[in-house]
Amino acid sequence: MIGRMASPAPVSETDESRFLISDLCDLLESYLDTEQVREIYRAYLFGAEAHEGQHRVSGEPYIYHPIAVARILAEMHMDPESIIAGMLHDVIEDTGTPKEVVTSEFSEEVAELVDGVSKLTQIKFESQAEAQAENFRKMMLAMVRDIRVIMVKLADRLHNMRTLGVMRGDKRRRIARETLDIYAPIANRLGMNQIRLELEDLGFAALYPMRYRVLNEAVKRARGNRKEILNKIESAIQQRMQQELIRCRLLSRQKHLYSLYKKIRDRVGSFNEVFDVYAFRIIVDNVDTCYRVLGMMHSLYKPVPGKFKDYIAIPKANGYQSLHTVLFGPYGVPIEVQIRTDDMERVAESGIAAHWLYKSSDKGSGNNAQARAREWLRKLLEMQSHAGNSLEFLENVKIDLFPDEVYVFTPAGDILELPRGATAVDFAYAVHTDVGNTCIASKVDRRLAPLRTPLLNGQTVEVITATGAHPNPAWLNFVTTAKARSNIRHYLKNLQNDEAIELGRRMLDKALHNLQSSLAEIGAEQFAGLMEECGFEDRDTLYADIGLGNRMAMLVARRLVPQEEGSEEKPAETGNSKPLAIRGTEGMVVHFARCCRPIPGDAIVGFISTGRGLVIHTEGCNNLSDFRSRPDKWIDVEWQPDIEGEFSAEIRVDVTNQKGVLATIAAEISEAGSNIENVSIEERDGLDTSMNFTVTVRDRQHLARVMRCIRKLPSVMRIIRSKN
């Protein structure tokens, strides 16, 4: 049997207008019982009354839209509750009907589905992006509770896209962009291929109408020249199947416009190179036959090396299963062949909807797609709990929606699926959050490899962990999975909060010391009054606010130790006012200014920066003049006597331009126990060169030793420490 797989034809506004509630009931009666159809009709009457007097932008009565959404759900053979929710999906949001009324009229289940799709209209947001992100977050959390929420939302979005032409240009483009960025990828992630393809082509036409028209005309012209070779390939495949007595369905696939556009845009090739690929799908009875047919195809036409993919043994994240291969066809044209069973075809086209659409004959494939979808939703819930706000959550979900899979093995032989470009850190977080948080090194195929190494298909990855290790902020520069990114950010936020609490406590204690008091002398009643006045839940919240520079320690201290009326403030006696000791290990709330790069041994001052904490400068820093007008922001600081750790310093070295001079200086720096963080070179007149090094040192004495080692080299003319 040979057939053509045509693109889903967009339904026009005129066609939709003719599809009335009677047509919907006829469709529903094909798979639901009479009582269930009556309940859906009652939902139609309820919705029609609620939307009475409302019209769409096209001018038609609003109720046509819910009927069309219910129709899309009915075509997927969704359950009655989903179709009722589709019929009522806008009543809470657009008509003011309370959720409680929907519950009493129908059921709690229906009301939850409708509420999950409804936007947060009662909350005012600072921006359109924030409103979009928060509404998306609400929908996704409802989707975690009941996966049918996203089915209703996708049906709603599909009908909106079919009727998008009546909207004004800017709104049309915004909705199309949102569809291509979020809803089409979600449909793909859930394996709903038919809906995904239609959303993509409709979004493409709305967002880039001129590009769509040009590409569509080019495809129509090119198809006329392909019939002869297409028929020749079909006949050869069909004849081979008959020789081997294999029953199958042979379908020739047409590439969709948006898919063609993306390949051309991403410079995969020109239009002719991309379009001149002949694609076929062979559908057979069982898995064993799939592999037999694969062998026949490879004997009929030579396979292209490296282009075979077995998604039956290792399914995609959305449950998709198939064998893919590329062959050298007649005249050297490439032929793409997909081989799968009927059950795999159902899941490939309908995804999680196959659970409802083919419930009577389903043999587990639809349930498998649903299980994978629920696993994805579980990961979304974990990401949501770690996201700081809705915009960050939306960013993480977008990252997760565009995977190009890589399959790697654990040391035990288990397979993990990761997006292309994933690193060992992504792998570690995919195994478990605690493994990711404590990883320090990795082995790829039993050899040590940097944590940032991109992983390839088939590699075996082992993660080395250490107790007490923690995520490195630099990991955010190369991780690709949303789970890794959200967990690293979550850890760093908690780390900054802990460091801010400790710094704030020390700053407040120092301020109290200047008022001849201390934290130990402040009673619980004094703190309780301050907590109530400032709206803080506990002392840690107050300390964190001080440590981050949002509240001045001296003002808080004066509130805790009020001066008697008429008396002058009595600061601590000279010599008793002790500067705040800087340990160098305060982390993310104490920053060392890049303009002067202070190191232990330098005379230093501290400047409180709102939201960042304490910024340390050297006393001679040129930039301090910009802050002289803010004496309330300054704080006396000093280095702790037994300070440990490494600090960055900059040195400038003028040398004669000789071969190997950079290597010689680098060797001397290493010999002096220092490390080079960065180096830049400025050629002055062809004879002399200036080299600027950023090196790590322990203190001023260590820096002096490094500079002495460099100065003794014959090629060095001058060396100074760079500041500002």
Residues annotated catalytic, as ranges: 93-94
The single-letter code of the amino acid at 297 is M
3 state DSSP class of 629 = coil
Distances (CA, A) of 149 to 197, 331, 543, 690, 708: 20, 50, 43, 64, 70
For helices 553-560 and 482-514, the axis angle rounded to 10 degrees is: 50
Task: Judge residue 18's burial from the number of C-beta atoms within 10 Å of its C-beta, 0-12 exposed, 13-18 middle, 19 or more buried.
Answer: exposed
Task: Note whether 604 and 619 are within 8 A (CB).
Answer: yes
Cβ density class 632-671: b for 16+ within 10 Å, e for less? eeebebebeeebeebbbbbbebbbeeeeebbebbeebbee
Separation between Cα atoms, residue 693 and residue 721, nearest integer Å: 10
Distances (CA, A) of 460 to 58, 407, 408, 451: 57, 10, 6, 14
What would the two tokens of residue 272 be? 């002719």
Closest CA to 485 of 407, 404, 411, 383: 383
What would the two tokens of residue 309 be? 């993919």
Separation between Cα atoms, residue 96 and residue 426, nearest integer Å: 45
What would the two tokens of residue 30 be? 């094909």
Element (H, E) at 158: helix 148-162
The single-letter code of the amino acid at 613 is G
Closest CA to 330 of 231, 229, 239: 229
Separation between Cα atoms, residue 649 and residue 618, nearest integer Å: 12
Beta bridge partners of 283: 249, 340
Task: Judge residue 585's burial from the number of C-beta atoms within 10 Å of its C-beta, 0-12 exposed, 13-18 middle, 19 or more buried.
Answer: exposed
Separation between Cα atoms, residue 128 and residue 133, nearest integer Å: 9
Task: Note whether 689 and 655 are within 8 A (CB).
Answer: yes
Task: Give the total residue count for the chain.
Answer: 724
Task: Note whether 337 and 293 are within 8 A (CB).
Answer: no
Task: Note whether 451 and 400 are within 8 A (CB).
Answer: no
> How, if at all, do strands 278-284 and 334-341 pair?
parallel
Separation between Cα atoms, residue 142 and residue 480, nearest integer Å: 26
Cβ density class 266-276: b for 16+ within 10 Å, e for less? eeeeebeebbe
Separation between Cα atoms, residue 196 and residue 192, nearest integer Å: 6
3 state DSSP class of 526 = helix
Rg for the chain, CA atoms, rounded: 34
For helices 64-75 and 80-87, the axis angle rounded to 10 degrees is: 160
Distances (CA, A) of 416 to 128, 316, 347, 430, 568: 37, 11, 21, 8, 70
Separation between Cα atoms, residue 70 and residue 143, nearest integer Å: 18
